[in-house]
Homo-oligomer: A and B are copies of this chain.
Amino acid sequence: MEFSLIERIRALTEQPRDDVRLGIGDDAALLSVPVGQDLAVAIDTLVEGVHFPPGTAAADIGWKALAVNLSDLAAMGASPAWALLALTLPQPNQAFVEDFSRGFAELARPHRLALVGGDTTRGPLSISVAVHGFVAPEKALVRTGAKVGDAVLVTGTLGDAAAGLHALGNPFQADDKHSSARDFLVARLNRPTPQLAAGSALRGLAHACIDISDGLVADLGHICTASGVAAEIDTALMPLSPALMALYDDASAQQFALTGGDDYELCFTVPMARLANVQSDLSRIGCGFTRIGRIVEGSGVKVRGANGEWLESGYAGWDHFA
């Protein structure tokens, strides 16, 4: 049973690469890392009922299980190459596996990412993916490099995924007038786009970078802790999508943007002298971005409200055990 499932996954995710000497089907995969490149590796797990609601489409789960991992590579400025998949299912459901694999492959294919190994087991629905990418030594984007005086920027818009999750639980908003906005937000939740091109463009420019999985304040807080600095950001500068603003009032939208997880945009810091380079390089690849604050001395993340007042802290973001 397991064997035929793995064969289906292999067939649906096939991606030939010269650096895969031996792919799915033996005790381990054998891979060739290019000389002069470091290997960047990350692993992330999605659990039903914790990271996605029961009833989420299998294809969306497949996409997202890969996306959250590719987002980690994006935050390092690494280029993706290979993945391993550990898929735990309550029963051997071939239709689920096929849809899951199609969603996974839809995101993998444009990045030429090869699935090189995996394990299927019986148990409550959960998915762990480990991804591998390449980055030149000393060029990786880390969390520890933020410096006082840096500008703080984010790609894309914030709060959409959290609003999408909220909207899923509140069908009263599903009238015709708002359905396209709602669909946009739910798609941002279910099919996040890892910012790989932006991560690559920021290599050598950004001082520090992280992907926003736990929420802006929490994740920027990780940069501050790792770098020994503080950040000041401004709610008035939050990049909000038209869909988010159509469905929610300002206070809710800002709350989603500050603390909602799952957006998988990049948050990064840049020395002022390089701001023009960042602006031109990100514009060239069509990546939207917004300056939302600056790095200062101290610790933690301070948030300025719409009237210039400092908001109460307590933006804990997404706690994995909440």
Q: Does A287 contact B (CB under 8 A)?
A: no
> How many residues on chain A are close to B (CB under 8 Å)?
69
**A86 with B1, Cβ < 8 A, contacts A32-B137, A121-B50 known:** no
Do residues A28 and B41 form an inter-chain contact, with CB atoms below 8 A? yes
Closest chain B residue to A38 by CB distance? B30
Provide the residues of chain B in CB contact with A48, threshold 8 Å.
123
Do residues A118 and B43 form an inter-chain contact, with CB atoms below 8 A? yes
Do residues A28 and B119 form an inter-chain contact, with CB atoms below 8 A? no
Copies of the protein in its oligomer: 2
**The one of B27, B38, B130 that contacts A130, using a Cβ cutoff of 8 Å:** B130
Task: Say what secondary structure dominates the interface of chain A.
Answer: strand
**A124 with B122, Cβ < 8 A, contacts A2-B319, A86-B45, A117-B43 known:** no
In the complex, what distance in Å separates the CA atom of A77 from the CA atom of B130?
A: 22
In the complex, what distance in Å separates the CA atom of A256 from the CA atom of B322?
A: 44
Do residues B47 and A121 form an inter-chain contact, with CB atoms below 8 A? yes
Do residues B43 and A2 form an inter-chain contact, with CB atoms below 8 A? no
Closest chain B residue to A71 by CB distance? B27
In the complex, what distance in Å separates the CA atom of A26 from the CA atom of B42?
A: 9
Do residues B137 and A21 form an inter-chain contact, with CB atoms below 8 A? yes
